A and B are shown apart, each in its own frame.
Chain A
Amino acid sequence: MTIVGQLPCRVRTIETAWIPMADGVRLAARIWLPEDAERRPVPAILEYVPYRRRDGTRARDEPKHGYFAGHGYACARVDIRGSGDSGGLLRDEYTRQEHDDALEVIAWLSREPWCTGNVGMMGISWGGFNSLQVAARRPPALKAIITSCSTDDRYADDVHFMGGCVLGDNFSWAATMWGRAAAPPDPDVVGAGWRAAWRERLANLPVFLADWLAHQRRDDTWKHGSVCEDYEAIQCPVLALGGWADSYTNAIPRLLAHLKVPRQAIIGAWAHFWGYEGTPGPAVGILQECLRWWDHWLKGKDTGIMNEPMLRAFMQDWDPPRPAYEERSGRWIAEPAWPPKDGITRRAFVLNERGLGGAAGPEAPLILRSPEDTGQAAGEWCGHGTGTDLPTDQRIDDAGSLVFDGAPLTERIEILGQPVATLELAADRPVAMVAVRLNDVAPDGSSSRVTWGLLNLTHRDGHESPAPLVPGRRTRVRVPLNDIAQTFPAGHRIRVAVSTAYWPMAWSMPEPVTLTVFAGASSLELPVRAPRPEDAKVAFGPPEHAPPMNATVLEPGRAHQVNRRLVTTGESEVEVVFDLGRVRIDDIGLEYGSWRTETFRIRPDDPTSARAEVVYRFAYRRGDWDAVHESRTIMTATRDAFVVHADLDAFDGGRRFYARSEERRIPRDHV
Chain B
Amino acid sequence: MRIVTTFPRKVREIENLWVPMPDGARLAARVWLPEDAEADPVPVILEYIPYRKRDFTALRDEPMHPYWAGYGYATVRLDMRGSGESDGTMVDEYLKQEHDDAVDAIAWLAAQPWCTGAVGMIGNSWGGFNALQVAARRPGALKAIITSCSTDDRYADDMHYMGGCLLNDNFDWGTTFFGWLPRAPDPALVGERWRAMWQERLDAAAFPIEDWMRHQRRDAFWKHGSVCEDYDAIQCAVFAVGGWLDGYSNAIPRMLANLKVPRLGLIGPWAHKFPHNAIPGPAIGFLQEALRWWDYWLKGRDTGIMSEPMYRVWMQEKVPAKGFYDTCPGRWVGEPSWPSPSVRTLRWHLNEGGLEQRPGREVALATRSPQTVGLAAGEWCPYGTGGTGPEFPTDQREDDGRSLVFDSAPLPARIEILGAPVVTLDLAIDKPVGFVAVRLGDVAPDGPTTRISYGVLNLSHRDGHEDLKPMVPGQRVTVRVRLNDIAYGIDAGHRLRVALSSAYWPMVWPAPAPVLLTVTAGASRLELPERLPRAEDAALRPFPSVELAPGVERETLEPGVSRRTIERDVLTGETVLRVQEDVGRYRMTRIGLEVGYWTGEELRIRDDDPLSASTAMWRTTEYARDGWRTRTAARTEVRATRDAFLLVGELDAFDGDKKIASKRWDVRIPRDLV
Contact = CB atoms under 8 A, between A and B. Distances in A.
Given A393-B370, A395-B370, A444-B366, A568 B388 contact: yes
A567 B570 contact: no
Contact of A565 (B369, B565, B571): B565
A393 B607 contact: yes
A94 B446 CA distance: 44
Interface in B392-408: 394-395, 397-402, 404
Given A393-B370, A393-B607, A443-B366, A566 B447 contact: no
Interface string A558-594: 0111111111101000000000000000000000000
Interface string B291-335: 000000000000000000000000000000011000000000000
Contacts of A388: 570-571
A354 B353 contact: yes
A323 interface: yes
B570 A399 contact: no
Interface stretch (A205-213, A232-240, A263-271, A366-374): A366-374
Interface residues of A, number: 35
Interface string B617-628: 000000000000
Contact of B568 (A371, A562, A566): A562
A398 interface: yes
B389 interface: yes
B346 interface: no
A160 to B, nearest CB: 24
B363 to A, nearest CB: 9
A445 interface: yes
A514 interface: yes
A400 B566 CA distance: 18
A134 B14 CA distance: 93
Given A514-B446, A604-B395, A563 B568 contact: yes
Contacts of B390: 567-568, 570
Majority-rule SS of A interface residues: loop
Contacts of B445: 367
A564 B568 contact: yes
A441 to B, nearest CB: 10
A97 interface: no
B570 A563 contact: yes
A536 interface: no
B571 A323 contact: yes
Interface string B344-363: 00000000011000000000
B566 A564 contact: yes
A88 interface: no
Interface centre among B388, B402, B447, B570 (most CB of A within 10 A): B570
Interface in B595-637: 607
Interface string B361-398: 00000111110000100000000000011100011011
B563 interface: yes
A261 interface: no
Contacts of A514: 446
Given A368-B447, A369-B447, A393-B370, A568 B353 contact: no
Contact of A371 (B368, B369, B397, B516): B397
A387 interface: yes
Nearest to B409: A353
Interface in A383-410: 387-388, 392-393, 395-400
B368 A444 contact: yes
B23 interface: no
Contacts, number: 97
A399 B401 contact: yes
Given A367-B446, A568-B389, A399 B400 contact: yes
Contacts of B375: 565
B369 A367 contact: no
A446 interface: yes
Given A367-B445, A396-B398, A400-B397, A561 B565 contact: no
A568 B401 CA distance: 23
Contacts of B400: 399
A354 B636 CA distance: 48
Contacts of A399: 397-402
A632 to B, nearest CB: 23
Contacts of B389: 568
B601 to A, nearest CB: 13
A618 to B, nearest CB: 24
B564 interface: yes
A369 B446 contact: yes
A604 B376 CA distance: 14
B235 interface: no
Interface in A445-474: 445-446
B568 A445 contact: no
A367 B443 CA distance: 11
Given A367-B445, A565-B565, A559 B571 contact: yes
B402 A367 contact: no
Contacts of A369: 446-448
- The CB with the most chain B CB atoms within 10 A, among A367, A369, A397, A399, is that of A399
Given A566-B565, A568-B563, A445 B368 contact: yes
Contacts of B192: none
A443 B366 CA distance: 7
Given A399-B400, A445-B367, A567-B565, A392 B446 contact: no
A399 B565 CA distance: 20
Nearest to A396: B401
A16 B172 CA distance: 65
Given A398-B401, A568-B389, A560 B565 contact: no
A446 B400 CA distance: 13
Nearest to A576: B570
A564 B402 contact: no
Given A367-B446, A371-B397, A570-B323, A561 B366 contact: no
B424 interface: no
Interface in B556-578: 562-571, 573
Given A369-B447, A445-B369, A568 B402 contact: no
A224 to B, nearest CB: 36
Contacts of B570: 323, 388, 392, 560-563
Interface in A509-544: 514
Nearest to A394: B401
A444 B562 contact: no
Contacts of B370: 393, 395, 446
Contacts of A559: 571
Contacts of B516: 444
B569 A561 contact: yes
Contacts of A445: 366-369, 402, 404
Interface string A285-323: 000000000000000000000000000000000000001
A146 to B, nearest CB: 32
A361 B389 CA distance: 46
A370 to B, nearest CB: 7
A354 B369 CA distance: 23
Interface in A601-659: 604
A395 B323 CA distance: 21
Interface string A237-264: 0000000000000000000000000000
A-B interface, 10 closest residue pairs, ranked by CB to CB distance from nearest: A399-B401, A445-B367, A567-B564, A444-B368, A561-B570, A369-B446, A388-B570, A399-B397, A395-B402, A565-B566
Given A395-B402, A570-B323, 13 more contacts: A354-B354, A370-B447, A444-B366, A445-B368, A445-B402, A445-B404, A559-B571, A561-B571, A562-B568, A565-B375, A565-B566, A567-B565, A568-B564
25 contacts: A354-B353, A367-B446, A371-B397, A388-B570, A392-B570, A393-B607, A397-B401, A398-B401, A399-B402, A400-B397, A400-B401, A444-B516, A445-B369, A561-B569, A561-B570, A562-B569, A563-B567, A563-B570, A564-B568, A565-B375, A565-B567, A567-B394, A567-B564, A568-B389, A570-B322
Interface of A: 323-324, 354, 367-371, 387-388, 392-393, 395-400, 443-446, 514, 559-568, 570, 604
